[in-house]
Amino acid sequence: MRKNKRLLSNTLLSLFRGVSIRAKTIFLFSLLLFFAVSTISFLNFNNSEKMLERQTFEGLGGLVKSKADLIDHLFQHNFEVVSFLASQMKLRVLLTAFPETRLRITGKKAQIRKILNTVVDASPSLVNHIHIMDVQGEVLVSTKISEEESNFSGTPEYSKGKTDLYLSVPYFDRKQYRYSISGPVFDLNENTKTVIGILTVEFKGNKLLDILSDYTGLGETGDLVLAKRDGNDIFFLNNMRFKPGAALHWRMPFNTQNAKPIRLALSGQSGITRGLDYRDIEVLSGYRYLELLDWGLVAKIDVREAFEPMWHLLKEIILMGCFVLMVGMIGSFFFVGMITDSLRELREGVELIARGNFAYRVNIDRRDEIGQLASTFNQMAEKLDQLYTGLEENVRLKTKELENTLAKTEAQNKILIDTKTAVLNILEDLDETRRDLERQKADLEQGKRELEKANKELDNFVYTASHDLRAPLRGISSFASFIEEDYSDKLDAQGKDYLNEIRKSTTRMDELIEDLLELSKISRIKNPYENVPIADLIQEVKVRIEFDLHDHKSELIVSGEMPVIYCDRIKMTEVFFNLINNAIKFSSKIAGQTPRVEIGCRTEPEKTVFYVKDNGIGIDPQYQEQIFEIFRRLHTETEYEGTGAGLSIVKRVVDDYGGKIWVESELGKGATFWFEIPKDLKENII
C-alpha cells in the first residue's frame, strides 16, 4: 500500500515537472475552488434537507393530531348520544312498567319506538337505527321492526353493553360502513341501579370515512391509516389511497417489519418517524394513539415526494457551482498571467547577471510583492556591481592578512609544542602520585585487617579469660559448701557468716563473668538479618519475664502500632529484654504504686525511634551518661539486684547499628529510655 502511494506521488510530480507555473496555478486554484463550491453546496443541501424533513414532520404531526381530534370528537358525541338516550326518564318508565308482559302490548312498544325514531330522525346522517334488548338479550323494540324478538345474547353488544358503554368493531351492512355503541338502561331506583335493558345504537360511518378520505396537505402520495390491534394482527378499519379494499378485510401480522408507524401507534405511542409502510416504501409519518377507542391513526407521505423540492435545489446548486468555477478559472488565467510575466522578466535578469552583466536592471513598475521583489533584485544587482568592483582590493588585503596569520600560527604551534611537553611531564608526576596513593591504600587495608584480627583476638581473650576465671570460683564455692557441711557444728556464728559471704561473693563474681561473656558474645556473634515485627518480639520478651511481671504485679503497655524493621532478631530481643527488665526492677519498690512500663515508637524519614518508659525511682541527671558504662551501678546489691551490665549490652547493640541511646529522667519521676535504629541497615553490620 505504501509502495503504491509513493509510486502515485512520483508519477504526479513527474507530470507537473514540465508544466508551466501558470498552468499549475490555474489547475490548483480551480481544484481549490471546486472543493470549496462542493463543500458549500453539500452543507447547503444537507441543511435544506434537514429543514425540509423537520417542516414535513411538523406538518404531519399537526395533521395527525387534527384528524385524531376530529375522530375523538365524533365518537365522544356518539357516546354522549347513547348515554343521553339510555338515561331518558320516559324510556326508563315504560321499560319498568311492564316487566311481566315484556312490552308485548302494542301501545307501549309504539311509544318506545316513537322515542327511538325521534332520535333517528334528528340525526339522519349519523344514526342508522336503534333497538332495545331485555336482560336476556331478546330485542324488545327496534326502529328496524324486522329485528324485534331477535335474540342477541351471544353478541358482545349484549355481554359487554350490560355493564358499560361498548363500541363494536366497524362492519359492513349491505355494503354500508357501520358501527354500533351499546349501553345499559337502569331502573328508576337510583340506589340499586338494576339493569332493565340494553340500548344499542347503530351509527353510520360516513363522517368517519369522510375524515379519513380527506387528503388535504398530503400531496400525491400521502395517506391516512386507521387500524386496531386484533390479537397478533393489525386490523385495518379504512380504505387507503393505494389499497382501496383494505377496510375491514385486510390484516397484517403485528410483528412485521413494515408498517412501523401503525405498530407504534397501536403500542400506545404518539410521535413522528421515518420508515417503511405497508407498501415497503420509505415514508415520513406522524402517528397517534386514540386512547378513547384503543385505535391507532397514521398520516404519512412518501419520502420521494416530500424531498422532491431538494432535487430542484440540487440542480440549481450544480448549475451555480459550474458558473462560479468557470468564472474563477477565467479570472485566475488573467491574474496568474500578470504574475508569470513579471517572473519571466526577473528570470531573464538573473540569467544576465549570472553571465557577468552586473549593470542590468529589471523594469517592473508594480506596487505589490512582485514590485518589491523587482526593487530588491535591482538593489542586489547594484550591490553585486559594487562588490565586484572592490573584490580585487579585498583579495589583496585578505592575502596580506593571511600571510600575517600564517606567521602567527607558526609561533603559536611552537608554544603548543612546548605546552604539550610540560603537560606530559605533569601527567608523569600525576601517575607517580597515583601509584603512591595505591600503595598507601594497600597499607591502610593491611592495617585494617590487622586491627580486625587484634579485635577478634581481644574478644577471644575476654571470652577465654572469663571462662577460665569461672573454674577457680566453682572450686571456692564447692570448698565453702564442704566446710559448711562437714564442720558446721564446729563453726561459730561469725564463721558461718564468713562462709555465707564467700558463697555470695563467688555467686556475684560468677554473674559478673556471665555478663562479661554476654557482652563479648554481642560483639563476636553475627546473626542473619530479617524483617522483624517488633510487636511479636515484645510478646516474646513478655513471655520470658512473665514471672517477674506477675511477682511485682507490673503492668506492661504497648502504645500504638509497632513497625517491622530489618535487623538481627536475637540482639534486638536482648535490647528490649534488658530495658523492660530494668524498668520493672526500678519501679517495683515504691510503696502504694503499681509498676507501669510503657513501650512506644515514632517513625521518621531515615530512622525509627523507640522508647521504654517506667514510673520508677528515676535517675539523677548527673549519672545519666555513666549508667551505660559496664558494671556501673547507682545502688547496692541489697537494694536492687543485678550486675550493671544490662545497659552496656543495650548501648553496644544500638551503637553497632549506627544509632544512639539516651535517657530522660528526674529523681522520683520515673525514666524514659530512647533509642533510634536507622532504616537503611545492611546485612552483617554487627
Task: Tell me which of 191-205, 224-238, 464-478, 551-565 is least confident.
Answer: 464-478
Binning the chain into helix, strand and coil, the percentages to the nearest 5 are 55, 20, 25
Q: Could you tell me the sign of the dihedral formed by the alpha carbons of 92, 96, 100, 106, in that order? A: negative
pLDDT at 634 exceeding the cut of 60: no
Strands 251-253 and 233-236: antiparallel
What's the whole-number average pLDDT of the chain?
Answer: 77
Helix and strand numbers (H, E) in the chain are 16, 19
Q: Look up residue 335 and give its three cell numbers.
A: 491574474
For residue 661, the Cα-to-chain-centroid distance in whole angstroms is 52
Q: Out of 258-267, 374-383, 403-412, which region has the weakest mean confidence (pLDDT)?
A: 374-383
pLDDT digits (tens, 9 = 90+) for 426-450: 777 777 877 877 887 777 777 667 6
| pLDDT above 70: percentage of residues in the chain | 68
CA-CA distance, 205 to 180, in Å (whole number)?
10
Superfamily of segment(s) 88-208:
PAS domain (3.30.450.20)
DSSP code string of 325-382: HHHHHHHHHHHHHHHHHHHHHHHHHHHHHHTT-TT-------SSHHHHHHHHHHHHHH
Quote the cell numbers at residue 492: 561459730
Q: Convert the pLDDT of each residue in 594-609 to its tens digit.
A: 888 899 999 888 889 9
When pLDDT is averaged across residues 79-101 and rounded to a whole number, the result is 76
Which pLDDT value is given to residue 103?
Answer: 45
Q: Does residue 69 surpass a pLDDT of 90?
A: yes
Q: What is the pLDDT of residue 290?
A: 92
CB 127 within 8 A of CB 142: no
Residue with cell 533584485: 377
Q: Does pLDDT of 78 surpass 60?
A: yes
pLDDT bracket for residue 624 (50, 70, 90) = low
Predicted local confidence at residue 73, as pLDDT: 93
Give strand pairing partners of 204.
178
CA-nearest of 311, 316, 367, 310 to 338 is: 367
Q: Which residue has the higher pLDDT, 20 or 129?
A: 129
Q: Which residues pair with 227 in a beta bridge?
A: 236, 296
- pLDDT tens per residue across span 509-531: 555 565 555 555 555 567 788 89
Q: Where in the chain is the domain with CATH 3.30.450.20?
A: 88-208
Whether the predicted pLDDT of 70 surpasses 90: yes
Domain with CATH 3.30.565.10 in the chain: 528-678
Q: Are 252 and 278 in contact (CB under 8 A)?
A: yes
Does residue 633 register a pLDDT over 60? no
The radius of gyration of the chain's CA atoms, rounded to the nearest angstrom, is: 61
For the full predicted model, state whether its pTM sits above 0.75: no
Q: Name the residue with higher pLDDT: 480 or 80.
A: 80
The phi-psi region of residue 137 (left if phi > 0; otherwise alpha if psi is between -120 and 50; otherwise beta) is left
Task: Compute the distance between CA of residue 469 and CA of residue 474 in angstroms, rounded to an integer.
Answer: 9
Q: Among residues 625, 642, 623, 645, which one has the least CA distance to residue 634?
A: 623
* Residues 528-678, CATH architecture: 2-Layer Sandwich (3.30)
Q: Which of residues 278 and 364 earns the better pLDDT score?
A: 278
More confident residue, 57 or 235: 235
Contact 168, 152 (CB under 8 A): no
- The answer to whether residues 290 and 211 touch, using CB atoms and an 8 Å cutoff, is no
- CA–CA dist 238, 209 (Å, integer): 7
Do the beta carbons of residue 68 and residue 351 sit within 8 Å? no
Model confidence pLDDT, tens digit, residues 481-502 = 767 666 666 677 666 666 666 6
Report how far residue 215's alpha carbon sits from residue 221's, in angstroms, rounded to the nearest whole number. 9
pLDDT value of residue 673: 92
